[in-house]
Amino acid sequence: MPRVSSKDKYTEQVFELFKRRGLMLNMEQIAHELGLTKKTLYNNFNSKPELIGTVLHYFYSKLEKEINCASVKSENAIEALFKVSAVIAEEISKLGNLLLKDISLYQSCPAIFAFTDRMNFYSRLIQENLKSGIEEGVYRETLNIEFSTLFYTSAIDLFYRWDNEHGFKYFEDTILFHKELVAHHLHSVVNERGLKLLEKYK
C-alpha cells in the first residue's frame, strides 16, 4: 500500500475541517484545529490560497475518479451523463451550505482558482460526453459542442452562485436540479435515435 505523504494527510484533514467550518479560518486557526504549528502548516502550504486550491483540487480529483468509474459502467453517452450527474449532485450536497457559500465567495480571488478551475472541470466533462455521443450516433452531428458546453456550465455556475439576499436559493433541490439539467440538455442534443434511447432513462 503506497505511503501517504504528510501534505496529502493534511489536505484530507483540512478538507474535513473546511466542510465543518468553511474557508474563513486563518492559517493559525487551521493549524490549531489540526494540532499543528503554523511552521509545519507553512512547510506544506506556502499560503492560504495555495492551501484552499490544494483542497479543492483534492475534492475534484476524487470526484473525477468516481465520475470515470460511473462512465465506464455506462452503456452509452446518455446513460453516462445521467450517472455522472447523480454522482456530482450527491458529492456536492455533502459539502454543505457553508463550504459551498465560501467557495462561491472566493470565486473572485484568482490566486485561489489558479490552482483549480471548477468551470474547466465541468467543461471537459460535457465536451467529452458530447464527442462520445456524436461518435456513438446518439447526438446530432451538427450540434455546436462549444455552445452546448457553455449552456450547461452556465447553468451550473448560476445554480451554485451565492446570493447575499437569498443564499443558495435552490440548494435544497440539488439532486433534482442536476436531474432536470441533464434531461433538458440531452433533449437539446440528441438525434432521433438518441431520443428513443432517452425514453429508457425517464
64-99 tens-digit pLDDT: 889 888 888 899 999 999 999 999 888 888 888 788
Quote the Cα angle for 146-101-183, to 5°: 40
Q: For residue 33, what is its C-alpha cell?
A: 484545529
b/e map 157-177, b = 16+ CB within 10 Å: eebbebeeeeebeebeebeeb
Query: For the purposes of burial, counting CB atoms within 10 Å of the CB of 19, is it exposed (0-12), middle (13-18) or buried (19 or more)?
Result: middle
Report pTM: 0.79
Q: Are 77 and 138 in contact (CB under 8 A)?
A: yes
Residue 62 host element (H or E): helix 48-72
Q: How far apart are CA 181 and CA 122, in angstroms?
A: 13
162-194 tens-digit pLDDT: 665 655 665 667 888 888 999 999 999 999 999
